[in-house]
Structure 1
Amino acid sequence: MTLSTFVSADNADTNIRHLIGQKLMLDFRYFCQQDTHCRQPMTKLPEELAQLIKQYQIGGVILFAENVQKTNQIIELTKALQQASDTPLFISIDQEGGRVARINRAEATSFTGNMSIGATYQKHGEKYAASVASAIAKELNSLGINVNFAPTVDVNANPLNPVINVRAFGEDPKIVAQLGAAQVKAFEQNGVISALKHFPGHGDTHVDSHTGLPRVDHALTQIKQQDLYPFSHIIKQQQPGMIMTAHIQYPALDSSTVTNKQGENMIRPATMSRAIMHDLLRGKMHYQGVTITDALDMAGISDFFTPLDAVLETFSAGVDIALMPIQVRTPADLKQFKTFFEALENAVKSEQLSRQELIQSNQRIAKLKADMLSKQVTPSLAIAKSTLGNPQHRQIEADLALDAITEVKNAGLLPIQIQDGDHIHLIMPDRQKASALKQALLREVNKDLTISITSLQAFKPQRAKQAILKANWVISAHASPLQSAAEIGGMDDLAELKSYEVAKQRQPKALYELMQFANTHKKASLFISLRAPYEIAKYAPFNQAVLASYAYNVDVETENDVRGPAYTALAKVIVGHAKANGQLPVSIVLE
């Protein structure tokens, strides 16, 4: 494989094909041989897709959970992808840690996420940002994955933010910037290209760009001090390999309009804004690396633009790489891709797209790939097995989970002093989380202890109340807000999200009523916020103690063993085997 930029005039068609192909990053999450609604995971590269990569000189691919199921399978897949290409491929993934982690948690270390890192900042500074990113990078590098769409450096200033929340380090732009810079350095020192996201900032939105088009109406001063600050700080410290765009309107940065597929004029999303992606990011902020869109199939773009128009607008704005520009899952999609690609070639020939800008973009991409090659290890099963989820990484995961636990309220309840014959009743979002906390508590306590469970997914109110009356302590927990498409995977998961939302929308009311019941009967009660801690303000008045964990992921789940780092940490704090040293990285107001 070579890194030739193919810019000679001798073969104009080859030149154009390479210039365009290198600017496309495709997803092969599913692939079927029949022209049907395809949900067959692509775990082994089929010949049709290998030919597509080679024929169109595709620059990169993104992998999803469906593509990365087993260690040996991942290595074979990444090797096959590289072998299909005449130039090195960007092989990317969303492995932020916490709620956004694509690789099987039982094999790869997933950690408890950015907000838990933010909760440790006051005591530990950049320690966990660096060590977590270093571990993730080593694990990805061992698998042949060379781009991680992380860190998220959005400043979460909106309690109603449905898609960022615990994916952010917190609400303080300076702390976010420091932790983000530490992660960029650690990722790239360990052979993985980092991608800051989501420029110019997704932290103060109440709309998920997977499902709609958010708009930020901040004044220019606030944008500079809050939204742009982490990006500006990190660019000055070091040039991150990539920066990812946000599908968000920012009128104070660009109020120009574009005509959408409905024939309506609308303010340009940042992804399509030359004023933002070129004049601001490259001109004023002096970023010299590679820019990439967020997924172009997200509703913030696809509801308003055809795939071709979206890519043309993106490239005209100066963005280097279009991520997931068009679906490729069936033989019929391969034909549509040919038509799509030829239209892009014609746009260059007709000078609708600037050949000179494509060459400059290609040179940035080629430079980054050359840097990438100098740091990559050759993936092997032996190296990967000794790297993924190794004891050192698991210890960092456990230490972070424990150091992040935050005691928000304690009116003399914690730690609980358990005696033989005592009874704890757990009220949890579902049976998996309940089992994880129950087993964690039983591992920490060498007593004859009864732990009963109410799962809010399906329960009988009267039986739950009877269990509350019998208990010495009531421990309830909730996770808010609901999962977003980014966490589960992408746009394909929206149908699942809708059914999930219907199942979950009654939980807060049910939890509130059971808390009121326990409070009325003067039960010793603890509430645990398992995700974004903003919900604590609502539930704290009914509990003598409140803890925040910022995470609830489970790494091991068998019939008799359900565990995750956050639950182990919570159990240690609840029974007094460890202290809660975390600090809230966002503001909440208790009554």
Structure 2
Amino acid sequence: MTLLCVGVATMPLNAAAVLSSPPGVKQMLGQKLMLDLRYYCSTTPVDGQCRTAMTTLPAELAALIRQYDIGGIILFAENLNDINQIVQLNRDLQQAAADSPLGLPLFIGIDQEGGRVARLPRHIATSFAGNMAIGATYAEHGTAFATTVGQVLADELLPLGINVNFAPTVDVNVNPQNPVINVRAFGEKPQHVADLGGAMTAAMQSRGMIAALKHFPGHGDTEVDSHLGLPKVEHSAEQIRQVDLKPFADIIKTQGPGMIMTAHIQYPALDNSTFISKDGDKMLKPATLSRKILHDVLRTELGFQGVVVTDALDMAGISKFFSHTEAVVQTFAAGADIALMPVKLQHPGELAALAQLLDALAQAVEQGSLSLAELTASYQRIVALKQRYPLLPKAKTAGEQLSKATVLLGNPAHRAAELALAKAAVTKVKPAGADWPVRLNGKQKLLLIMPDMSKAQALAAALKHYSKTALQIDSISLQQTDFSQASAQIASADLVISGFIAPMQSLADIGGMDDLTGVANIAAAYQRQTRQYEALLPQITQAGKPHVFLSLRAPYDISRYGQFADVVLASYAYNTAEDVSAIGAGNATYEALAQALLQQYSLSGRLPVTVAGYND
């Protein structure tokens, strides 16, 4: 099998296997690193913090990829502006890899799960409503939407030069308080998650996209975000195998996923061994660093033969307790094949850290802390996966690649599928039957109370677009500071439609640990929104106004807010495109909600999780 290089030459994909001499230790180690190049400053920032997005590949970063035979790169939203820029960036990345001694192409990965975790601009790419929305369609449509979403995600990512999608999330969300997974999960039933995750995996991989199941052995019953701390799951060994491991086990057996991503989570029933943190504390080993979990459970018990990639090693679940070198040594010793985001490389002053890390890893091999035999086997798994999938686009020229990407991304068929999922997912939770105690038709004056003005504008635009009669729409944003007119706005409305997003955004939504400084501000803003919303709800009731409540994220908030509304709808999604008023261009959730509110189609969505007081 041959692969077109991004330059003028062609190269055999199995180039490493035909080298006159076997790869060296550092070359094999380089293939086991997947770097984050989200930000890069050409000079060292005065405060040491770089926030300049890396959208074109600097020569010094290309040199690192080339010199150290780096195996992969992960891209974030900051790296991705438009189709032309993304295509060129990825071609430049692959050219640097092609010029390395091994000449192996890069894994270029992304978190394009759909829903609230989507890195490509929503007005350009088809983002869909996310996994829990797919879960809401399972009763009526089975795995159809999981398959469609997997196909479209792969078809849009591959022509951009992205060949690994860190998806699907197959965590079983059994904890309503889960701050980081919630709607990223298909639901709470292990078999449904396994079925839907398996269908999405099969769809992506059949198109040539490497899928990476996450987060092994399961992140569905945590109340701590592993970006911020180290969660512990206290399930019994039996419960772990029946719930948490079930989707992984089934999909490994039926679909052969290319990658599985580890979780920075303690599972004492699987491994109760301890380590001493860099602060001297004795702690249970998290799964990412546990040989019992990665080798004994994942490799031996479940029979996984693919590539194990860590979750980001800069997350507090790891970095709070280990130096970056120690973390990489420990996860490689545990059985991980690829260390994701092992070291920060955001300005010239940090670039030497990569060579230092590789020196330390090579020393660990020499001293026996890392097995040379296991290093070689891991390297061979990586090369085998790179041989199995077409890591470089089929297009022979940049122009041909750009043309194909432009035709595919966000095309009408994909946008239609996006809207179809959003509509199929909308769930009428209250009242439970077919009755609609509130009728939008004929209501001339609506008041929208939404988490922010962009959500209000998106819903207003969709309502006006789909309504057959003129609507007068007023709005309240829960981010505004002056609510002195709120009572008057409620009093003058014929119908109030309110929406809320719970829980608050996590670092997975925003991007990652580089956004940590903004979390406190997000939390404070969310608390203000919650207070304002809960102050307005009784006013709506007291004014006797018909009221529709829209649960825009995890539907668990219906237990809290459903009592104030005549009708409750769940959408499982809330994201808008950059142009919030655009129709057919990234605002599918609001188009679906508008059509539902106008009763223009029959709602078939079903709650994929238990909501206390409604389907328990």
Relative to the length of structure 1, the TM-score reads: 0.97
- Residue 402 of structure 1, CA deviation: 0.3
Q: What is the CA–CA distance in structure 1 between the aligned matches of 2:375 and 2:147, rounded to whole Å?
A: 35
Aligned match for 2:380, one of 363, 370, 389 = 363
- Residue 462 of structure 1, CA deviation: 3.5
Alignment of 1:287-366 (within 5 A): 287-366=304-383
Of 257-266 and 388-397, more deviation after overlay is shown by 257-266
- Residue 460 of structure 1, CA deviation: 3.3
- Residue 414 of structure 1, CA deviation: 5.0
- Give yes or no for contact 1:31–1:40 (8 Å, CA) kept in 2: yes
Aligned to 2:613: 590
Aligned match for 1:508, one of 526, 530, 533 = 530
Q: What is the CA–CA distance in structure 1 between the aligned matches of 2:391 and 2:519, rounded to whole Å?
A: 41
1:403 has 2:424 as partner: yes
- Residue 449 of structure 1, CA deviation: 2.3
- Give yes or no for contact 1:5–1:363 (8 Å, CA) kept in 2: no
**Residue identity matched to 1:260:** S
Aligned match for 2:14, one of 3, 19, 22 = 3
**Residue identity matched to 2:501:** A
**Residue identity matched to 2:566:** Q
Aligned to 1:24: 33
Q: What is the CA–CA distance in structure 2 between the aligned matches of 1:174 and 1:297, rounded to whole Å?
A: 32
1:524 has 2:543 as partner: no
- Residue 556 of structure 1, CA deviation: 4.6
**Residue identity matched to 2:246:** Y
Alignment of 1:100-249 (within 5 A): 100-249=117-266
Aligned to 1:372: 389
**Residue identity matched to 2:175:** N
Q: What is the CA–CA distance in structure 2 between the aligned matches of 1:10 and 1:442, rounded to whole Å?
A: 68
Aligned to 2:7: none
Q: What is the CA–CA distance in structure 2 between the aligned matches of 1:426 and 1:488, rounded to whole Å?
A: 26
Alignment of 1:274-289 (within 5 A): 274-289=291-306
Aligned to 2:410: 389
Of 40-49 and 501-510, more deviation after overlay is shown by 501-510
1:453 has 2:475 as partner: yes
Aligned to 2:5: none
1:463 has 2:503 as partner: no
Of 197-206 and 492-501, more deviation after overlay is shown by 492-501
1:54 has 2:71 as partner: no
Q: What is the CA–CA distance in structure 1 between the aligned matches of 2:581 and 2:217, rounded to whole Å?
A: 45
1:127-175 C-alpha deviation (Å, 9 max, x unpaired): 0000011000010001010000000000000111000000000000000
Q: What is the CA–CA distance in structure 2 between the aligned matches of 1:174 and 1:209, rounded to whole Å?
A: 25
1:240-267 C-alpha deviation (Å, 9 max, x unpaired): 0000000000000000011211122211
Decide whether aligned partners of structure 1 residues 418 and 384 sit closer, same or farther in structure 2, where only a CA change above 3 A counts: same
- Give yes or no for contact 1:141–1:377 (8 Å, CA) kept in 2: no
Unaligned runs of 5+ in 2: 1-10, 98-102
- Give yes or no for contact 1:290–1:365 (8 Å, CA) kept in 2: yes
Aligned match for 1:416, one of 428, 439, 462 = 439
Q: What is the CA–CA distance in structure 1 between the aligned matches of 2:470 and 2:207, rounded to whole Å?
A: 48
Q: What is the CA–CA distance in structure 1 between the aligned matches of 2:571 and 2:148, rounded to whole Å?
A: 19
- Give yes or no for contact 2:455–2:580 (8 Å, CA) kept in 1: no
1:438 has 2:450 as partner: no
**Residue identity matched to 1:370:** Q
Unaligned runs of 5+ in 1: none
Aligned to 1:579: 602
Aligned match for 2:24, one of 15, 26, 36 = 15
- Give yes or no for contact 2:448–2:473 (8 Å, CA) kept in 1: yes
Decide whether aligned partners of structure 1 residues 21 and 237 sit closer, same or farther in structure 2, where only a CA change above 3 A counts: same
Of 41-50 and 166-175, more deviation after overlay is shown by 41-50
Decide whether aligned partners of structure 1 residues 414 and 112 sit closer, same or farther in structure 2, where only a CA change above 3 A counts: farther
- Residue 443 of structure 1, CA deviation: 1.3
Q: What is the CA–CA distance in structure 1 between the aligned matches of 2:607 and 2:153, rounded to whole Å?
A: 25
Q: What is the CA–CA distance in structure 1 between the aligned matches of 2:108 and 2:582, rounded to whole Å?
A: 37
Q: What is the CA–CA distance in structure 2 between the aligned matches of 1:3 and 1:17, rounded to whole Å?
A: 19
- Give yes or no for contact 1:25–1:324 (8 Å, CA) kept in 2: yes
SS of 1:208 mapped into structure 2: coil
Q: Percent same amino acid at aligned positions?
A: 51
Aligned match for 1:565, one of 588, 591, 596 = 588
- Give yes or no for contact 1:415–1:573 (8 Å, CA) kept in 2: no
Decide whether aligned partners of structure 1 residues 374 and 540 sit closer, same or farther in structure 2, where only a CA change above 3 A counts: closer
Q: What is the CA–CA distance in structure 2 between the aligned matches of 1:222 and 1:196, rounded to whole Å?
A: 20
SS of 1:279 mapped into structure 2: helix
**Residue identity matched to 1:477:** G
Q: What is the CA–CA distance in structure 2 between the aligned matches of 1:513 and 1:498, rounded to whole Å?
A: 23
- Give yes or no for contact 1:9–1:15 (8 Å, CA) kept in 2: no
Aligned match for 1:271, one of 288, 300, 323 = 288
Decide whether aligned partners of structure 1 residues 49 and 399 sit closer, same or farther in structure 2, where only a CA change above 3 A counts: same
Aligned to 1:547: 569
Q: What is the CA–CA distance in structure 2 between the aligned matches of 1:236 and 1:417, rounded to whole Å?
A: 49
Aligned match for 1:82, one of 76, 89, 94 = 94
1:34 has 2:43 as partner: yes
1:486-536 C-alpha deviation (Å, 9 max, x unpaired): 111110112223212211212223212211111122211110000000000
Q: What is the CA–CA distance in structure 2 between the aligned matches of 1:58 and 1:499, rounded to whole Å?
A: 36
Q: What is the CA–CA distance in structure 2 between the aligned matches of 1:373 and 1:558, rounded to whole Å?
A: 36
Q: What is the CA–CA distance in structure 2 between the aligned matches of 1:91 and 1:486, rounded to whole Å?
A: 19
Task: Give RMSD over aligned pairs.
Answer: 1.8
Q: What is the CA–CA distance in structure 1 between the aligned matches of 2:463 and 2:139, rounded to whole Å?
A: 28
**Residue identity matched to 2:605:** G
- Give yes or no for contact 1:197–1:246 (8 Å, CA) kept in 2: yes
1:452-511 C-alpha deviation (Å, 9 max, x unpaired): 111110153341111111111111110001111111111011222321221121222321
Decide whether aligned partners of structure 1 residues 234 and 130 sit closer, same or farther in structure 2, where only a CA change above 3 A counts: same
- Give yes or no for contact 1:440–1:563 (8 Å, CA) kept in 2: no
Q: What is the CA–CA distance in structure 2 between the aligned matches of 1:3 and 1:355, rounded to whole Å?
A: 21
Of 356-365 and 377-386, more deviation after overlay is shown by 377-386
Aligned match for 1:64, one of 55, 76, 92 = 76
Q: What is the CA–CA distance in structure 1 between the aligned matches of 2:438 and 2:601, rounded to whole Å?
A: 9
Relative to the length of structure 2, the TM-score reads: 0.93
- Give yes or no for contact 2:457–2:580 (8 Å, CA) kept in 1: no
- Give yes or no for contact 2:234–2:269 (8 Å, CA) kept in 1: yes
Q: What is the CA–CA distance in structure 1 between the aligned matches of 2:515 and 2:18, rounded to whole Å?
A: 40
- Give yes or no for contact 1:439–1:563 (8 Å, CA) kept in 2: no
- Give yes or no for contact 2:122–2:586 (8 Å, CA) kept in 1: no
1:201-256 C-alpha deviation (Å, 9 max, x unpaired): 00000000000000000011110111000000101102100000000000000000
Q: How many residues align?
A: 588
